[in-house]
């Protein structure tokens, strides 16, 4: 009698490599390893596929989802200027619903009884994987071998060595936990767990130190259409390629390093290190172009929705109805966000130094200028100011009559 199958979200790293064998031994299931390429810089996908088989999987599947990740996940997050706690561009949180989508697809195609992930019980990803699966396939079981097992990183290395499980080169003296994709890179564990300690330089890979950044600034021109970047320095590029190029160019100037204390969904705080040069540069440019193109009330309300939107993604609710509804609002808000933005990359900063658009909402040079040719009728302002201040003037007069201090 054949064993039930479980599709494991497989990264090729330590935790998911040992999870294959643990599921074999403790759950008596066959494992299908499913690795999803979301731009994490894997040079040899065939090697990852073979490693899954060598670790004990009965089948190993590799999905090239780089273009899909850019168009279906990065794009809506960029249009929303999605930054958790106003700082974090949702690198890991943004990739999880896409990985879940393919886990469910492979589970259906292979007749699997469920899916599995390699998350611990202290992080946010367990929620994203499991709630995402509940939304897309409520009938599938979800297993969490690392959470159930509870092994430390060192113990997991020992487990792999004892059983001859092939794992990527690592050291117990360098315990950083790394996750990355096209939108950025995350690092935690080790010395980073002490929020007083400065991150050592060996934590970083996608950004140079500010002290080693070029002494001359670099300018890039990013063109947007309906809120999405479509060209870089006059060259039209697919979104995935544009993100990759701006990420490399901004990272070379030290742009995008984030060191933050993060409020995790599970109720604890953690110290996180992020490198997001492309994300920070593009969000900075997009937000600035919105300032030029959006009407004031629309812009004010969109800023409110942006924080809620980022929190929904962070909390694993990508597939929920509220996120879908906010998407419709954000798409409408970005309808006229068209134009070009000049961004200067210099010593850790991405600074907007120019912007232009044929769809600017209220910016009219003839109305804005203080030089000759000013077409703003300043005589209208006297009545406007009186009407605008009338409620406060009335309130202040009554307060003073009653002897109340303002």
Report the SS3 class of residue 16. helix
Active-site positions? 15, 96, 125, 177
Cα-to-chain-centroid distance, residue 164: 35
CA distances to 111, 225, 299 from 60, in Å = 14, 39, 47
CA distances to 74, 135, 323 from 79, in Å = 9, 24, 13
* Rounded-to-integer distance, Cα 313 and Cα 320, Å: 10
- Rg of the chain taking only CA atoms, in angstroms: 25
Phi and psi based region of residue 109 (left: phi greater than 0; alpha: psi -120 to 50; beta: remaining): alpha
Q: Exposed, middle or buried by CB within 10 Å (0-12, 13-18, 19+), for 44?
A: exposed
Q: Exposed, middle or buried by CB within 10 Å (0-12, 13-18, 19+), for 193?
A: exposed
Q: Which residues contact 101 (CB under 8 A, 6 or more apart)?
A: 132, 136
């Amino acid at each position: 009698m054949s064993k039930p199958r479980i599709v494991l979200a497989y990264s090729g790293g330590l935790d998911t490599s040992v999870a294959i064998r643990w599921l074999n031994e403790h759950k008596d299931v066959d494992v299908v390893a499913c690795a999803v390429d979301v731009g994490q810089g894997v040079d040899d996908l065939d090697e990852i596929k073979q490693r899954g088989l060598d670790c004990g999987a009965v089948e190993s599947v590799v999905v090239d989802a780089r273009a899909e990740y850019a168009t279906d996940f990065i794009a809506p997050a960029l249009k929303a200027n999605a930054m958790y706690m106003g700082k974090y561009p949702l690198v890991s949180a943004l990739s999880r619903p896409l990985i879940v989508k393919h886990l469910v697809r492979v589970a259906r195609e292979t007749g699997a009884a469920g899916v599995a992930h390699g998350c611990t019980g202290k992080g946010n990803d367990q929620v994203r994987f499991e709630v995402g699966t509940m939304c897309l396939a409520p009938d599938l079981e979800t297993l969490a071998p690392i959470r159930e097992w509870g092994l430390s990183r060192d113990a997991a290395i020992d487990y792999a060595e004892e059983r001859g499980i092939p794992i990527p080169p690592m050291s117990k003296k360098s315990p950083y936990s790394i996750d990355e994709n096209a939108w950025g890179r995350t690092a935690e564990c080790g010395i980073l767990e002490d929020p007083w300690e400065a991150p050592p330089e060996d934590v970083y890979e996608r950004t140079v130190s500010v002290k080693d950044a070029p002494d001359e600034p670099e300018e890039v021109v990013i063109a947007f259409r309906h809120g999405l970047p479509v060209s870089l320095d006059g060259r039209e590029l697919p979104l995935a390629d544009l993100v990759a190029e701006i990420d490399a160019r901004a990272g070379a100037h030290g742009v995008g390093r984030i060191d933050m204390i993060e409020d995790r969904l599970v109720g604890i705080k953690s110290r996180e290190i992020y490198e997001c040069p492309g994300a920070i540069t593009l969000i900075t440019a997009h937000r600035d172009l919105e300032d030029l193109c959006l009407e004031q009330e629309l812009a004010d309300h969109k800023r409110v929705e942006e924080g809620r939107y980022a929190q929904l993604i962070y909390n694993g609710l990508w597939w929920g109805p509220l996120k879908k509804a906010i998407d419709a609002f954000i798409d409408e808000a970005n309808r006229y966000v068209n134009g070009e933005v000049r961004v200067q990359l210099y010593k850790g900063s991405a600074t907007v130094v120019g912007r232009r658009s044929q769809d600017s909402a209220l910016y009219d040079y003839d109305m804005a200028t203080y030089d000759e040719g000013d077409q703003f009728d300043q005589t209208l302002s006297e009545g406007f100011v009186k009407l605008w201040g009338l409620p406060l003037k009335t309130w202040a007069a009554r307060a003073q009559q009653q002897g109340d201090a303002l």
